[in-house]
Amino acid sequence: LPPTRRMDRVLPSIGDGLGPVQRRIVYAMSALGVNATAKFKLSARTVGDGLGKNHPHGDSASYEDMFLMAQPFSYRYPLVDGQGNWGAPD
């Protein structure tokens, strides 16, 4: 691949600030119908759907990014509403 295409894959987008894995997670959640008014679904369902259709690599990067998106201390605003234990700041 040309160097510009490789950098385009790695860097977050200027438009929304999401990286490629984060964008795939949000897309998978949208495809599953997970929104603010929907019932909670298991994280394995979201990550599995994202891995199966959009990100055929290991699941550790997807889980790590989804956990970071749910933690209120990782980003300015949480992007995912997590239920249960999603980590502590310490």
**Residue span of the structural domain in which 32 resides:** 3-70
Q: List pLDDT tens digits, range 1-48.
A: 566 555 556 677 777 888 888 888 888 888 888 888 888 888 888 888
Determine, yes or no, domain membership for 13: yes
How many distinct structural domains can be found in the chain? Answer: 1
Query: Which range (22-26, 76-80, 85-89) has the least confidence?
Result: 85-89
Check residue 7 and give its pLDDT. 59
Determine, yes or no, domain membership for 60: yes
Q: Tell me, what DSSP letter sits at residue 23? A: H
Predicted TM-score (pTM) above 0.75: no
Determine, yes or no, domain membership for 22: yes
Determine, yes or no, domain membership for 77: no
Determine, yes or no, domain membership for 36: yes
Q: Is the model's pLDDT at 76 over the cut of 80? A: yes
Check residue 85 and give its pLDDT. 74
